[in-house]
Amino acid sequence: MSETPRDPAMSKDRFPSFRAELDSQHYHAVGKDWAGGVPPQFGVAPRIRVGRAKWFNLLWLVPIGVGLLIIAISVAKGLRETTGVQAFIRQYPGLSELPPGTPVGFPVWLEWQHFLNLFFMLFIIRSGITVLADHPRLYWTRNSTPGKDWFRIQKPVPTAPLYTAKEDSITLPNGVGLPGRRHSIGLARWWHLGIDTLWLANGIVFYILIFTTGQWLRLIPLHWDVIPNAISVAIQYLSLDWPLESGWTNYNGLQLLAYFVTVFIAAPLAVITGLGMSPALSTRFTKISSVFSIQFARSVHFVVLCWFVLFIVVHVTLVLTTGALQNLNHMFATRNDQSWWGFAIFTGALLLLIAAWVAATPFTYRHPRVVQRVGYALIGPAQRLFEHIDAKPGQYTEKDISPYFWHNGKYPEGAAYLALQADDFRDYTLRVNGLVNTPVELTLTQLRALEHHEQITQHFCIQGWSGVAKWGGVSMQTLMDVVQPAPEAKWVIFYSHALGPDGGLYYDAQPIEQMSHHLTMLAYDMNDDTLDFGHGAPLRLRNEVELGFKMVKWLKGVEFVEHFSDVGGGLGGYNNDHEFFGYSQSI
């Protein structure tokens, strides 16, 4: 076949590409100097805000809890001496009657599901904590204002005006977080979302099976007497004169309530609040998200985590202290006796769990691309489904503008940029080239002369914070009308003046279809002022159907290309080449 002449538009290009200034590696391991070698930084003990500015250290709950427990035990012991309480316990010994035909014991499928559930939860909880550590604060509103957080595991936000969200992220011990390194959210997300799909599938199968086999009769309180029974059991436990174990046939009232809450309230709430953190859903359902913002969802998601952790601790303690052999036989060996079978199988399962626990973080550092690939294989189908949800960003008004808008990223330090800045960007030009009919270099005056576009939109940083701001500038459509992209142009590369943390220009590739979205624009104004240094002066991208990391600041070039595979590390953006983000993580 004869060679067809390469795109005629290319030959018209009068300007060189900025590609030569990119770092052309993409990374395959997380070594010491990964992501610019950010030094570890540990946070503080968890704190909750009480009132305006007082912070309560949650570690105090340990002595307080022990104190309360001692008091509760002596109160319960006293109560059991009284004839009234004795009669009450006789009337409500702890068990509600079950309807005839309720299954006895546990089928093998249930035991497998129980094991898979606990196996998946291990990775979900650990990677979830790493996601939290990337923005170690929780808020009830989308404004993410420092000092308005209700929970933090980090010091108060310093007053330094250019403090960034990345500086705020904290390190976790490698055995706690998955992984533990500071700002490893790219990898933590693959773990979290990938394993979530398995956990969810396991949960759906569980729901179907318990309702088709009658096991649900044992998991849902069917009679109001579960309440007095639960109170009775609580008194019996606290008075250290424990009720008889009967888990093989019937859970006691307290157990039943705890299992019910975990299976039918906490688990669905984890899924709902997880989805509630999706910016696409949040912008789609504006009515709901005006109250239940993604920050609200993130907060409740965390409260659900606390429930799960509390449940696990109490559950494991009671399993091991109330006839351990028999309990382990119930859930690991489908038998109701005192043999060592359950213990043996449980020990095997535990060893597997510990091995996976210990190996997960080192494996992630050695094979981050494998984690990414497997994570994407698992969550990809759901993600693609979500792409059909037409996100509807941009429904905000002046009064919604956030009082504080976090900064993020690495600031430009190059001489060329500093010289432009010193001269108020008089000599600044934006280069727009590549597969276009009319490549141009536009000064700020020329950009400002183009049709002005304004929007008030919400920004979603992958780290977890959000904020609303008003942006003024030129819409990408206006710019495309000037340069006229060639039909072969499928991707648009945005080049920054600033370097990324490992060197090489910060850049990002975005699909051309998103460029004609009415809210995709280049902003030179923010909140009715000239865009300042911290937020990307003199020009930055706003693409409201993407996450924050795609909105390149301190823009110097826009290049239309057929594909991004020969741009930089070839993966579609600085964070994709270096930090294992996906190139299509649209909101």
Ligand X SMILES: Nc1nc2c(c(=O)[nH]1)N[C@H]1C(S)=C(S)[C@@H](COP(=O)(O)O)O[C@H]1N2
Of 19, 407, 453, 578, the one binding ligand X by CB under 6 A: 407
Q: Is 330 in the site for ligand X (CB under 6 A)?
A: no
User: Residues in contact with ligand X, total (CB under 6 A)?
Assistant: 18
Q: At what angle do helices 253-260 and 294-321 cross, to 10 degrees?
A: 150
Between 307 and 471, whose beta carbon lies closer to ligand X? 471
Q: Is 498 in the site for ligand X (CB under 6 A)?
A: yes
Residues 455-484 that bind ligand X (CB under 6 A): 461
Q: Choose one: 61-69, 200-208, 298-306, 403-411; the region binding ligand X (CB under 6 A).
A: 403-411
| Bridge-based pairing state of the strands 429-434 and 440-443 | antiparallel
What is the 3 state secondary structure string of 451-492?
CCEEEEEEEECCCCCEEEEEEEEEEHHHHHHHHCECCCCCEE
Q: How far is the CB of 406 from Mo ion (least distance, A)?
A: 9
From the CB of residue 67, how many other CB atoms can be counted at a distance below 10 Å?
10
Q: How far is the CB of 523 from ligand X (least distance, A)?
A: 9
Q: How far is the CB of 413 from ligand X (least distance, A)?
A: 11
DSSP state of 440: E
Q: How far is the CB of 560 from ligand X (least distance, A)?
A: 19
Q: Choose one: 94-102, 196-204, 355-363, 407-415; the region binding ligand X (CB under 6 A).
A: 407-415
Q: Is 554 in the site for ligand X (CB under 6 A)?
A: yes
Structure token pair of residue 324 = 């351990």
DSSP state of 39: P
Measured distance CA(436)–CA(421) in Å, rounded: 29
Q: Choose one: 132-140, 390-398, 399-407, 517-525; the region binding ligand X (CB under 6 A).
A: 399-407
Of 177, 274, 393, 409, the one binding ligand X by CB under 6 A: 409
Q: Is 218 in the site for ligand X (CB under 6 A)?
A: no
Measured distance CA(392)–CA(438) in Å, rounded: 32
Q: How far is the CB of 185 from ligand X (least distance, A)?
A: 10
Q: Is 189 in the site for ligand X (CB under 6 A)?
A: no
- Which of Mo ion, ligand X, none does residue 19 bind to, with CB < 5 to 8 Å depending on kind? none
Measured distance CA(80)–CA(395) in Å, rounded: 60
State which residue has the least CB distance to ligand X. 409
Q: Is the dihedral of CA 370, 375, 381, 385 positive or negative?
A: negative
39-43 contact pairs (CB < 8 A, 24+) = 40/171, 40/181, 40/182, 41/169, 41/170, 41/171, 41/182, 42/170, 42/171, 43/133, 43/136, 43/152, 43/153, 43/154, 43/155, 43/170
Q: How far is the CB of 498 from ligand X (least distance, A)?
A: 4
Q: Is 405 in the site for ligand X (CB under 6 A)?
A: yes
- Which of Mo ion, ligand X, none does residue 551 bind to, with CB < 5 to 8 Å depending on kind? ligand X
Report CA-CA distances (Å) from 55 to 154, 158, 414, 438: 12, 16, 41, 58
Name residues whose C-beta falls within 8 Å of residue 49's C-beta, 6 or more positions apart in sequence.
Answer: 55, 56, 149, 150, 151
Which residue, chain included where needed, has tokens 């909750």?
A: 48
Q: Is 553 in the site for ligand X (CB under 6 A)?
A: yes
Of 326, 457, 496, 520, the one binding ligand X by CB under 6 A: 496
Residues 506-525 that bind ligand X (CB under 6 A): 506
Binding site for ligand X (CB under 6 A): 405-410, 461, 496, 498, 506, 535-536, 548-549, 551-554
